[in-house]
Structure 1
Amino acid sequence: MNLTNIHPKVTPIYQTSVFKFASLAELEEYYTAPGRGGRYGYSRSEHPNTEELVAAVARLEGVAGGALAGVATGAGLSGLLAAVLATCRAGDHVLCPAELYGGSVVLLSNELSRLGIETSYVPLADLYDLARHARPNTKLVLAEILSNPLLTVLDGPRLAAACQAEGVLLLIDNTFASPAISQPFSWGADMVWHSATKYLGGHSDVTAGLVLARDPAVAQRLRQVGGSLGLTLAPLESWLTLRGTKTLRLRMRQHSENALAVAQFLARHPAVGQVFYPGLPLDPGHALAAAQLRGGQFGGMLSFRLADDTAAAVDAFVQKSQLFPLAPSLAGVDSSCSYPLATSHRYIPDERRRALGITPGLIRLSVGIEEAGDLLADLSQALG
């Protein structure tokens, strides 16, 4: 079959586990030439679909030229695993804010601790004084642009400056914001990580992660870890995620517009005790978010605490709502709600959850791109 004159506008899905070589010379070039000589061998390590995806996200994140600078993985948390293992070894220390996604905490504290990598947590407000908390063996700081689930806003440039002063790498979780409204490389992050399951994919039909590095040597280590541990994202999932990135800017504008309307509605509702959304002028992180996020957008995620701060009140809301179904993930085009106490922070000790403000009446909303009026009408009846 002659494919010479076939020029697809969209890259095909390379649904193959291996690629062929015509000679021993080609095989040797694959293993020894820079960039594999433009060849592919085994999809566990690399294939055209994942490389196109990584390059596309690199462009969105503002990496010069969109150069290949990282790895796409089979899930968001496998991206975090790759980032830590690419930069840390047994005996090293990772430092994080206490306000961190529960899944990240479980991976770092329960699993990577068994490999001799220690993690400690301090309140975000204290983390900027990095010299006081860093140790001689601190290799990495991990923080979120917008924390999960209470949307605490990170002062990224301030933390990046502190990490540079201490010679510590900074890894930023950009999942909640996405590169459409936040570009951490522009203010000094060393690595940027996404659960690509969320806004990059955007349609709740793919599970993926992606991590990029500024330093080519770190990027190469990410690729090596991804290939060695079998973390590399499969062709179909890479293709689906790439398709999602093509509408990311459009979707984020609508997510943000709808989330602001929902937050304003909830802030006025008598059944709601508190709303957490940096787009509200009275939110403590509003000024920082407005200065740091792009295009006057604050993202599609928000949380609120019911005035009746009980699980029973949450259950009543969940059962009455039609457009915010209960689901443990986020960022699809369709809205959903989540219950942090029983999902993202289920395995965090109760006293720590209370200290973070994760109470029985807290609900997290992922606001989709439906008609805003429909969403407000549904919230009105569900809270009635």
Structure 2
Amino acid sequence: MEIHPKITPIYQTSVFKFEDLHELESYFESPESRYMYSRNGNPNSDELANAVTKLEAGAGGIATGSGMAAIFAALLAYCQAGDHVLCAADIYGGSSSLLNAELSRMNITVTYVPFDALYSLAEFVKPTTRVLLAETISNPLLRVADLRQLAEECHRYGLKLIVDNTFASPILTRPLALGADITLHSVTKYIAGHSDVTAGAVVAADPDVAVRLKEIGMHYGLTLSPMESWLAVRGLKTLHLRIRQHCLNAMAIAEFLNQHPSVAAVYYPGLPTHPQHVLAAEQGKGLFGGMLSFKIADEAEKVNQLMRRSQRFPFAPSLAGVDSSLSYPLGTSHRYLTPEQQQQLGITTGLIRLSAGIEPVDELIADLEQALA
């Protein structure tokens, strides 16, 4: 009986069988022709990698065990011992921890570039500089990078541009189309979308770099498991629908918070007062994402009261699920930055990051209203 499943089955196996030595040799002659060992490749992880590659219009990519693994793979695709990395100062705290605490052990050094200096890199570039790592929309203050201009500036000095596109998703922005060399995601967030998967993905514009990414994934054991891959692919199928609702809800919440007397500032690219509003509208095709941050009084107890009172925004150190949540950058994602770095970036006691889910927005706003009262 022939079976033709509409949905790819879960290949929950660590190894694949060979008929004889001839089959084994044919695998090594053409590894793309079949599977051998799930660390080297699995139908489910390949399905996810291919789906994200198609969304990002890239040449090839890999699925990884987490977003951090994706960042690691992207950097190793271009860097080796003795190399120098430029990194946007406005970056996810885990990215800076990876560079500072781990890649430094490999003798890969880093210089952080302030947001206002991203398009004039001359003073930061060294003979050993290989890449610039930046985010489409920065975490947690939602600054928007002009990726086309950034790519031109990088390529002027022979640098490769790596873009973390997690906050935007490929629905809003495709960095490779704007000149980036690699784009990556914490698939945990919008692509999987349901807060039940930990995964990452990396996509390259150059086919040779895509091959290198597969080698890195295999040798470092970064490969995503079959079950997580299957769940992520299932979530990805509703990405277009979810992103639009995330964006609509975030805009409504940002407008509400922007008028609330207890809120000192709102950081959301959709607001006309945002410094990169026009750029964000262009790069995001009129959508501005589901993430925003806002600032209340710089008093820890005020933050605690808000967290306790809210019923629809659980205090959870992640983002981008279908359910809304609040996070606290100073105590989670950016806690390992120095106090000076935190101050320079504007990450203070009263800064709260909000992930807008896809629930009825009037219920979300009503909950924020009572929590801020």
Q: Give the TM-score taking structure 2 as reference length.
A: 0.99
Alpha-carbon distance between aligned partners in 2 of 1:240 and 1:283, rounded to the nearest angstrom: 36
Q: Which runs of 5+ in 2 are unaligned?
A: none
Question: Which piece of structure 1 moves more, 222-231 or 123-132?
Answer: 123-132
1:14 is matched by which residue type in structure 2?
Answer: Y
2:248 to 226, 233, 257: 257
Q: Give the structure 1 partner of residue 342 of structure 2.
A: 353
Residues 99 and 356 in structure 1, CA contact (< 8 A), matched pair in contact too: yes
Q: Alignment partner for residue 295 of structure 2, among 296, 299, 305?
A: 305
> Any idea what SS the aligned residue of 1:179 has?
helix
Aligned counterparts of 2:135 and 2:75: Cα–Cα separation in 1: 15
How far is 1:218 from its partner?
A: 1.0
Indicate which of 8, 11, 18 corresponds to 1:11.
8
Is the contact between residue 29 and residue 37 of structure 1 (CA under 8 Å) also seen in structure 2? no
Task: Check whether the contact 1:196–1:209 (CA below 8 A) recurs between aligned residues.
Answer: yes
| Separation in 1, partners of 2:41, 2:236 | 20
Q: Deviations over 1:198-247 (max 9, x none)?
A: 00110000000110111111111111111111110000000111111110
Q: Secondary structure of the equivalent of 1:354?
A: helix
Superposition CA RMSD, Å: 0.9
Matched residue, 1:370:
359
Deviation at 1:251, TM superposition (A): 0.2
For residue 49 of structure 1, what is the aligned residue in structure 2?
44
Q: CA deviation at 1:288?
A: 1.0
Distance 1:215 1:96 in 2: 21
The C-alpha deviation readout for 1:61-111, integer Å capped at 9, x for no partner, is 123xxx5x1111111101111111221100001101111110100001111
TM-superposed deviation, 1:132:
2.5
Q: Answer yes or no: is the 8 Å Cα contact 1:86–1:218 preserved in 2.
A: yes
Partner in structure 1 of residue 139 of structure 2: 148
Partner of 1:342: 331
- Code of the residue aligned with 2:354 in structure 1: it is L
User: Are residues 1:40 and 2:35 paired?
Assistant: yes
Tell me, yes or no, if the aligned pair for 1:328 and 1:338 is still in contact at 8 Å. Answer: yes
1:309 CA displacement: 1.9
Structure 2 counterpart SS, 1:365: strand
SS at match of 1:71: strand
Shift of 1:37: 4.3
2:26 is the alignment partner of 1:29: yes
User: Is 1:195 paired with 2:182?
Assistant: no
Alignment partners' CA distance in 2, 1:29 and 1:381: 66
Are 1:221 and 2:221 an aligned pair? no
User: Which sits farther off after the overlay, 127-136 or 149-158?
Assistant: 127-136
Which residue of structure 2 lines up, in the alignment, with residue 98 of structure 1? 89
The DSSP-based 3-state class of the residue aligned with 2:40 is coil
CA distance in 1, matches of 2:233, 2:32: 24
Counterparts of 1:271 and 1:363 in 2: how far apart (Å)? 13
The Cα shift of 1:125 comes to 1.4
Stretch moving more, 266-275 or 128-137: 128-137
Matched, 1:20 2:20: no
Cross-structure match for 1:73:
64
Runs of 4 or more above 4 Å deviation:
none
User: How much does 1:131 deviate?
Assistant: 2.5
| SS of 1:368 mapped into structure 2 | coil
Q: What is the letter of the counterpart of residue 180 of structure 1?
A: I
- The Cα of 1:26 is off from its aligned counterpart by 1.4
Query: SS of 1:72's equivalent?
Result: strand
Alignment TM-score, normalising by the size of structure 1: 0.96
Separation of aligned partners in 2, 1:345 and 1:206? 22
Show the 5 A alignment for 1:273-292.
Answer: 273-292=264-283
Do 2:111 and 2:124's aligned partners in 1 also have CA atoms closer than 8 Å?
no
CA positional deviation for 1:32: 1.7
Listed one character per residue, the Cα deviations across residues 156-200 of structure 1 (whole Å, up to 9, x for unaligned) are 000000111111111000000000111011111100010000001
Distance 1:275 1:37, change over 3 A: closer
Paired with 1:49 and 1:121, the residues of 2 have a C-alpha distance of 37
Is 1:323–2:312 an aligned residue pair?
yes
Cα distance between partner residues in 1 of 2:337 and 2:245: 33
Tell me how many residue pairs correspond in the alignment.
Answer: 373
> What is the DSSP-based 3-state SS (H/G/I as helix, E as strand, rest coil) of the residue aligned with 2:214?
helix
Paired-residue identity, %: 58
Distance 1:29 1:256 in 2: 49
1:186 is aligned, of 177, 186, 189, to 177
Q: In the alignment, is the contact (CA less than 8 A) between 2:243 and 2:289 conserved in 1? A: yes
CA distance in 1, matches of 2:98, 2:185: 15
Partner amino acid, structure 1, of 2:322: V
What is aligned with 2:56? 61
Q: What is the alpha-carbon distance in structure 1 between the residues aligned to residue 248 and residue 290 of structure 2?
A: 8
